């Protein structure tokens, strides 16, 4: 059994004049110690997916259907009280912007100790000792001093180290990291990502990494999901997807990377832009931007087809697979 299994998750936003669907039929799983990447443009629903796992979607968002099975128990059906025991304890989160994540009026020590005490019966002194050991682990300079400091006294990179330390405080099974390096200086991004990877490997913690950076995904994760307009359009082995993407959208994403082109050549761009939640097209949401789009694509959403170790939702891909099958059959 997978550690975390999301089945057919639907998330909607209740707004005036009806609901908007933010996530539709999301299914994926995460094994113990596995590292999973979640990629897509901004607005594709990556962050919504990340936050919905612990039911932390901001109002007016809500989980409209599906299951989120953690060790077989459905988080989507749990009460707040039961969920609280899992949040920060079994599943920890790392937010995008370390400048906004830590409470500006509470000291680092307070914010670490309270996280431990929310889940363990333990003295403040012992909790501080745990906090200190985790600060040591994230290689923060002079950790004793940090406990009494306030967030504004730390640089962005240091704050994100503190947040990683907080995520590790209670030795969780899963860490969900929502673009953990996007808000940082480019020079520090690699450092923080390497640290996160190292610590997850060390403690065998499963990592769900939300990012729009395909480079990071290919270095860090073993499997990846590609999201577009609230749906997963391709998922499977990271190496296979990066080397040989099946879905036209994923191909576009990879071709748009600078290192794929020759120096001096114009960067590739996927024409058009992602539809907003208010007017998601019928059928495959990518069809208005897809050069392979057919009448069928405009009408119905394609089912997933398996190609190697990758699941893809695309008629073009399934047709190609069908053709290949036919050719093989006719050859025999």
Q: How many residues bind another protein (CB under 8 A)?
A: 34
Helix axes 124-137, 156-168, angle to 10 degrees: 120
Q: Least distance in Å: CB of 272 to another protein? A: 22
Does residue 54 interact with another protein by CB under 8 A?
yes
Interaction between residue 150 and another protein (CB under 8 A): yes
Question: Smallest gap, in angstroms, from Cβ of residue 153 to another protein?
Answer: 5
Going through the chain in order, the beta strands assigned E by DSSP cover 4-15, 18-30, 35-39, 61-70, 73-74, 91-94, 174-178, 206-210, 223-228, 231-237, 304-307, 310-313
Figure out which of the listed residues 42, 74, 106, 204 binds another protein, where binding follows CB under 8 A. 106
Candidates 24-32, 51-59, 134-142, 197-205; binding stretch for another protein (CB under 8 A): 51-59
Q: Give, as one character, the DSSP assignment of residue 155.
A: -
H helical segments located in 169-314:
186-203, 214-220, 238-243, 248-255, 295-299
CB of residue 203 to another protein, shortest distance in Å: 18
Classify burial at 299, counting beta carbons within 10 Å of its beta carbon; exposed 0-12, middle 13-18, buried 19 or more: exposed
What's the distance, Cα to Cα, between the start and end of the chain in Å?
39
Does position 107 interact with another protein (CB under 8 A)? The reply is: yes
Q: Should residue 251 be labelled a site residue for another protein when binding is judged by CB under 8 A?
A: no
Q: Is residue 152 at the binding interface for another protein, with CB under 8 A as the rule?
A: yes
Is 180 in contact with 160 (CB distance < 8 Å)?
Answer: yes
* Min CB(151)–another protein separation in Å: 9
**Whose Cβ is closer to another protein: residue 123's or residue 243's?**
123
CA separation for the pair 287, 294 (Å, rounded): 8
**Burial of 7 by CB count in 10 Å (0-12 exposed, 13-18 middle, 19+ buried)?**
middle
- Please report how close the Cβ of residue 132 comes to another protein at its closest, in angstroms: 18
Is 115 an interacting residue with respect to another protein (CB under 8 A)?
A: yes
Q: Of the candidates 97, 191, 203, 240, which one interacts with another protein according to CB under 8 A?
A: 97
Distance set, CA 293 to CA 216, 251, 297, 307 (Å): 30, 15, 6, 20
3-state secondary structure of 175: strand
Decide: is 149 part of the binding site for another protein (CB under 8 A). Answer: yes
Q: To the nearest whole angstrom, how small is the minimum distance from the Cβ of residue 103 to another protein?
A: 4
Sole binder of another protein in the list 166, 174, 199, 313 (CB under 8 A): 166
- Rounded Cα gap, residues 234 and 318, in angstroms: 13
Residues 55-94 that bind another protein (CB under 8 A): 56, 58, 80, 84-89, 92-93
Tokens of 109: 């020590």
21 touches another protein (CB under 8 A): no
Q: Is 104 in the site for another protein (CB under 8 A)?
A: yes
Minimum gap (Å) between residue 105 Cβ and another protein: 5
Contact footprint for another protein (CB under 8 A): 15-16, 51, 54, 56, 58, 80, 84-89, 92-93, 95, 97, 100-107, 114-115, 118-119, 149-150, 152-153, 166
């Amino acid at each position: 059994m997978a550690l975390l299994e999301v089945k057919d998750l639907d998330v909607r936003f209740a707004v005036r004049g009806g609901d908007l669907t933010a996530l539709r039929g999301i299914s994926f799983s995460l094994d113990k110690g596995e590292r999973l990447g979640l990629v897509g443009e901004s607005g594709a629903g990556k962050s919504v997916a990340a936050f919905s796992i612990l039911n932390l979607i901001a109002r007016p968002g809500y989980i409209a259907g599906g299951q989120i099975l953690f060790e077989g128990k459905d988080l989507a059906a749990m009460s707040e009280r039961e969920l609280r025991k899992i949040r920060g304890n079994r599943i920890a989160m790392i937010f995008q912007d370390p400048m906004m994540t830590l409470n500006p009026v509470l000291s680092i020590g307070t914010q670490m100790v309270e996280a431990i005490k929310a889940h363990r019966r333990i003295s403040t002194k012992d909790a501080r000792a745990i906090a200190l050991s985790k600060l040591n682990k994230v290689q923060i300079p002079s950790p004793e001093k940090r406990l009494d400091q306030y967030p504004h006294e730390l640089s962005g990179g240091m704050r994100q180290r503190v947040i990683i330390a907080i995520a590790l405080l209670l030795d969780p099974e899963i860490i969900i990291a929502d673009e953990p390096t996007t808000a940082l200086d480019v020079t520090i991004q690699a450092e923080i990502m390497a640290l996160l990877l190292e610590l997850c490997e060390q403690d065998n913690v499963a990592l769900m990494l939300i990012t729009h950076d395909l480079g990071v995904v290919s270095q860090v994760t073993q499997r990846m999901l590609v999201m577009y307009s609230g749906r997963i359009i391709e998922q499977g082995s990271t190496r296979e997807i990066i080397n040989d993407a099946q879905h036209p959208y994923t191909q576009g994403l990879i071709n748009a990377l600078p290192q794929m082109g020759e120096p001096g050549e114009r960067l590739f761009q996927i024409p058009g832009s992602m539809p907003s939640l208010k007017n998601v097209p019928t059928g495959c949401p990518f069809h208005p931007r897809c050069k392979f789009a057919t009448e069928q694509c405009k009408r119905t959403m394609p089912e997933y087809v398996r190609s190697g170790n990758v699941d893809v939702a695309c008629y073009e891909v399934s047709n190609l697979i069908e053709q290949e099958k036919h050719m093989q059959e006719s050859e025999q």
